[in-house]
Amino acid sequence: MANNPINLAVRFLLEILALIAMGYWGWRQGEGLVRYVLALGVPLVAALLWGVFRVPGDPGDAPVAVPGAVRLLLEAVYFGFAVWALFDVDARAEAQAFGTLVVVHYLLSYDRVIAFLRG
pLDDT mean by block of 10 residues, the chain; 119 residues = 83 97 96 95 96 83 89 96 98 97 95 91
What is this structure's pTM? 0.91
Residue 14: burial class (beta carbons within 10 Å; 0-12, 13-18, 19+) = buried
Contact predicate 63/48, CB 8 Å: no
Q: CA angle, corner 82, sides to 14 and 48, nearest 5?
A: 75
